[in-house]
Amino acid sequence: MSKVAVIMGSTSDLPIMQEAIDILKGFDIEVEVDIVSAHRTPEKMFEFGKTAHEKGISVIIAGAGGAAHLPGMVASLSPLPVIGVPVKSRNSINGWDSVLSILQMPGGVPVATVALDGAKNAGILAAQIIGSSDKCVLDKILVYKQGLKEKVIKGAEEVKS
């Protein structure tokens, strides 16, 4: 069965990244969580990136702030699809730093970037990637999207009444 790794540069990113973990668990997808810092534990990152596809992991979600190198470096090391979550760190210049250092990868090494602090969407995207070859997960995505719709319809009724 497919497994998603959710890694982040620092425990301080966990409150944001937890949203990815929660949504994946809601889809009954196995999640492996770890702290892997590109700048402080480069050897661990190397080991992680080089071997992830041999350990049953299908998709990697990597969150980082500031000059956020973790998603791109893991994408450099792994053949798996890597989803990058730009986290708005304490001394960030409005999030531009993490957005651009994750998004603007050179030709050859893509990172699937989601919105600033968009860990929830990273989780959904990982599920969609698994769902693209797993009918059961695809159906759960369809149900999830139906749920989004119903919540809006209900909100609309309240506004009108």
Give Cβ neighbours of residue 12 (< 8 Å, ≥ 6 apart).
89
- Please check if 40 is assigned to a binding site: yes
Query: What does the per-residue mask of binding to a copy of itself show for 7-46, with x meaning CB under 8 A?
Result: --xxx--x------------------xxxxxxxxxx-x-x
For residue 75, the minimal CB distance to a copy of itself (Å) is 7
Told to check if 77 binds a copy of itself by CB under 8 A, we report yes
Cα distance between residue 78 and residue 160, in whole Å: 51
Interface positions, 88-127, toward a copy of itself (CB under 8 A): 88-89, 91-97, 99-118, 120-122, 124-125
Cα distance between residue 145 and residue 141, in whole Å: 6
CA torsion through residues 111, 116, 118, 119, sign: positive
Residue 86 contacts residue 102 (beta carbons within 8 Å): yes
For residue 113, the minimal CB distance to a copy of itself (Å) is 5
For residue 30, the minimal CB distance to a copy of itself (Å) is 14
- Containing 18, the helix (H) or strand (E) segment is helix 14-26
Told to check if 51 binds a copy of itself by CB under 8 A, we report no
For a copy of itself (CB under 8 A), the number of binding residues is 91
List binding-site positions: 10, 13, 40
